[in-house]
Amino acid sequence: MKILVPCKRVPDADQKIEVHPDGSAIISAHLPFLLNPFDAIAVEEAVRIREQRDGETEILAVTIGEEVCQDELRTALAMGADRALLVVCLQPPDPWNVARILRAVTQREQPDLVLMGKQAVDDDSNQVGQFLAALLDWPQATFASRLNFVDNGLRVARETDAGLETVTVSLPAVVTTDLRLNEPRYASLTSILKARKQSIDQFCLADLAVELEPRLEIRHLETTASARSCQWVTSAAELVDRLRRETH
Amino acid sequence: MKCLVVAEHDGATVRAGSLAALGFAADVAAQTGGSTTWLILGHELNDVSQHAARYAAVLAGDHPLLAAPTADRYAAVIDDQTRRGEFDLVVAAASTFAKDVVGRAGGLLGGAMASDVVAHRWENDRLVMQRPMYAGAVLATVVLSGSPQIVTVRPTAYAAPQPRTEPAEIATVGIDAETLPQHIEWLELETRPTHRPDVSEAQIVVSGGRAIRDRDDFERLIGGLADALGGATGSSRALVDAGITPNEFQVGQTGKIVAPELYCAVGISGAVQHLAGMKNSKMIVAINQDADAPIFEVADYGLVGDVYQVVPELIQRLKDEPDRHHPPPES
Ligand SMILES: Cc1cc2nc3c(=O)[nH]c(=O)nc-3n(C[C@H](O)[C@H](O)[C@H](O)COP(=O)(O)OP(=O)(O)OC[C@H]3O[C@@H](n4cnc5c(N)ncnc54)[C@H](O)[C@@H]3O)c2cc1C
């Protein structure tokens, strides 16, 4: 079994995001970055699958971006990924191009399963897994909260607006992770140190024969602010009174 | 633009969110001299087609293989119908259904897709849209290149169009069982039955957070307050993690996005991920024992106190005077 886990570098969600005055980009100079939390869940699940299968599983973490994105690959290695691959891409690709690059990696590496986050918490698009499955003509199971191997495939519980849905998919497949799937482990100090020394393969887009085809152009960014100011009430009685007046 | 709106439905009626998506499409069509058409997929679609036809022309793909929303089959039909009908814009409400199914169709149709659109304008022959990023901390202005364009919209940002005076035409589309992909087998959907409205469609939402200690307390306090107000129940992620509420109750960046007339946050701290899902509600009431909790920064009314004391009193007072501020629920 070979599992490909795409990993994205995103700003730490606990930080306040500011935008350049010209609206061109967020101010990232002093922001801490980390592995997208949904991708960490995907790495964790891959490691658990390998543990269940007595080790005969290879986990390949892949990211797309600049050299600094190696940090997130090292996080994945420290958590237990076997190999890591950086696809160097200097402009941040949109979801369509991320999916096209991942398709090229998938065709080269031939995994049985692509396990990835349902969304990246920076752009919140929730598109890449579905695009990739469509491009590969593979089945997909999005928003997974439980995975079980069954004959010739996977049984997946999916978090939907209506409730928990169960599907089976044949392999190879694309599965995207939801929060309830697992709680990612903290890497031990030894594995962090070991991951620092591991080598990371690098490709450029030309190696993968991918030329970017931009689809989603971001023209401008602005921060949003709450215009509300809180009026304090001191008792349940007063709150009920205010609600009545406001809604009459 | 010639717009195809993928409907989500319960077999009888089109969901409110899909009507809002039609509202977006109708506005684009009006500004560009285009048209709107529903695409409804499923099995036994008579009732829902008639409901939909009150708003726009219907293409109905009715087949036992489409009885459950499997992404591979649904996306194949959306792709096929979009190409055949030469649609320029494929629209759906941003829901888990659309993210799964329409997202995959977007991949088959060339990837020009924008998710969670909350505003738009037509400018220099381009559809210019706005969508939130970074858990709603940033609003991005985006344009798409390539055709067709695929857009999911937040139902909270758009209104349903007026029904037509005469129902529109209903046409059935041929489904070729031979060519439909069948790599995904749908097994079951597990839901918790509830007598309360759906959290994404309700006008009043009462949500509980980590302050609530167990399921019984959730039902008594959050459920009780929701019933006294005639609303739906929701929760923060913390209660889903604790197994107190089901996942479909979760409001937030990675759960449901709501914007009701009234949102009551009960014992919720107001993490950015939660705020992303509710901060556009018309009125926000927060109850928390910590006066510095960030939830108060987005609240219109704040009450500092212990929810175990405040909420039972609120419920009692609301019950004492049944002639309250909200109309009785529509039957
Ligand atoms: C990738 C990712 C995605 C996420 N997506 C979401 C999402 O979509 N939605 C979401 O909600 N969260 C999401 N979260 C979780 C989020 O970060 C917070 O952890 C969560 O919202 C906290 O829930 P809470 O406010 O109920 O709990 P807490 O933050 O623990 O707050 C509890 C609050 O209750 C108050 N309180 C406690 N006891 C009482 C009492 N007796 N009376 C009155 N007040 C009391 C406390 O003062 C506190 O403010 C996500 C997290 C991650 C990492």
Chain CA centroid to CA B46, Å: 23
B252 and B314 housed in the same domain: yes
pLDDT tens digit sequence for A74-130: 999 999 999 999 999 999 999 999 999 999 999 999 999 999 999 999 999 999 999
The verdict on a CB contact (< 8 Å) between A137 and B285 is: no
The answer to whether residue B225 sits within a structural domain is: yes
Residue B189 lies in a domain: no
Enter the DSSP assignment of B220: I
Q: How many domains does chain B have?
A: 2
Top mutation candidate among B269, B292, B295, B308 for ligand 1, by most atoms within 8 Å of CB: B269
Rounded to an integer, what distance in angstroms lies between the CA atom of residue A119 and that of residue B254? 8
Residue B331: pLDDT over 50: no
Interface test with B, best of A161, A166, A178, A244 (most B CBs within 10 A): A161
Question: Which residues sit opposite A88 in a β-bridge?
Answer: A65, A204
What H or E segment, with its residue span, contains residue B107? helix B96-108
d(CA A69, CA A122): 15
* B198 part of a folded domain: no
Instruction: Judge contact between A99 and A135, C-beta under 8 A.
Output: yes
B126 plus B20 within the same structural domain:
yes
Is B44 exposed, middle or buried, given 0-12, 13-18 or 19+ CB atoms closer than 10 A? exposed
The residue whose CA is least distant from atom 49 of ligand 1 is B269
Q: Which atom of ligand 1 is nearest to the CA of B239?
A: 26
Position B196 in a domain? no
Q: Would B197 be classed as within a structural domain?
A: no
Residue B116 and residue B59 in one domain:
yes
Cα separation values, A83 from A60, A88, A109, A183, Å: 5, 16, 12, 22
Q: Cβ B187–A167 below 8 Å, yes or no?
A: yes
Could you tell me if B288 and B214 lie in one domain?
Answer: yes
Q: Both B39 and B145 in a single domain?
A: yes
| Same domain, residue pair B21 and B150 | yes
Q: What is the per-residue DSSP string for B120-166? A: EEEETTEEEEEEEEGGGTEEEEEEE-SSSEEEEE-GGG--PPPPPSS
The pLDDT assigned to B193 comes to 83
* Separation in Å, CA of A144 to nearest CA in chain B: 12
Among the partner residues A131, A163, A179, nearest to B246 by beta-carbon distance? A163
Domain assignment present for B65: yes
Q: Choose between B192 and A10: higher pLDDT.
A: A10
pLDDT in tens, B8-66: 999 999 999 999 999 999 999 999 999 999 999 999 999 999 999 999 999 999 999 99
Task: Tell me if B192 is assigned to some domain.
Answer: no
Residues B140 and B208 in one domain: no
CATH of the domain at B209: 3.40.50.1220
Lowest mean pLDDT among A45-49, A212-216, B131-135, B323-327: B323-327
Q: Which pLDDT belongs to residue A130? A: 98
Give the structural domain span for B68: 2-179
B240 C-alpha to ligand 1 centroid (Å): 10
Last residue of a domain, one of B146, B179, B212: B179
| Cβ neighbour number for residue A139 with a 10 Å cutoff | 27
Q: Are B221 and B231 in contact (CB under 8 A)?
A: no
**Which domains, and CATH codes, for chain A?**
2-246 (3.40.50.620)
**Do B37 and B115 belong together in one domain?**
yes
Q: Is the CB of B245 under 6 A from ligand 1?
A: no
pLDDT band at B327 (very low <50, low <70, confident <90, very high): low
* pLDDT at B328 > cutoff 80: no
Q: What is the full per-residue pLDDT of chain A (248 aa) written as tens digits? A: 999 999 999 999 989 999 999 999 999 999 999 999 999 999 999 999 999 987 789 999 999 999 999 999 999 999 999 999 999 999 999 999 999 999 999 999 999 999 999 999 999 999 999 999 999 999 999 999 999 999 989 999 999 999 999 999 999 999 999 999 999 999 999 999 999 999 999 999 999 999 999 999 999 999 988 789 999 999 999 999 998 888 76
d(CA B186, CA A156): 10
Phi, psi of B10, rounded to the nearest 5 degrees: -115, 20
**Residue minimizing CA distance to atom 42 of ligand 1:** B306
- Whether residue B301 is found in the same domain as residue B209: yes
**In the listed set B179, B196, B227, which residue is the last one of a domain according to the structure?**
B179
B44: domain CATH number is 3.40.50.620
Domain co-membership, B213 together with B293: yes
* pLDDT over 70, % of chain B: 97
Q: Is the CB of B306 under 6 A from ligand 1?
A: yes
Mean pLDDT of B172-177: 94
Are the beta carbons of B253 and A219 separated by less than 8 Å?
no
Shared domain for B117 and B239, answered yes or no, is no
Q: Nearest by CB to B96, which of A143, A218, A243?
A: A143
* B102/B57 same-domain check: yes
Residue of A99, A170, A220 with shortest CB distance to B111: A99
Decide if B53 is inside a domain.
Answer: yes
Residue B75 CA to residue A182 CA, distance in Å, equals: 29
- The pLDDT value given to residue B322: 58
Contact A8, A130 (CB under 8 A): no
Protein residue with its CA nearest to atom 9 in ligand 1: B252
- Percent helix, strand, coil in chain A, to 5, is 35, 30, 35
Q: What is the pLDDT of residue A246?
A: 81
Ligand 1 atom with the shortest distance to the CA of B267 = 34
Instruction: Give pLDDT, residue A175.
Output: 98
Contact A244/B114, CB-based, under 8 Å?
no
Cβ–Cβ under 8 Å, residues B142 and A216: yes
Residue B217: predicted pLDDT: 98
List the single range of A200-204, B311-315, B322-326 with lowest mean pLDDT.
B322-326
Q: Which of B211, B204, B202 is nearest to B236 (CA)?
A: B211
Query: In what helix (H) or strand (E) does residue A157 lie, and over which residues does it extend?
Result: strand A153-160
For chain A, counts of helices (H) and of strands (E) = 6, 13
Nearest residue in A to B190, CA atom:
A164
Domain boundary among B143, B163, B179: B179
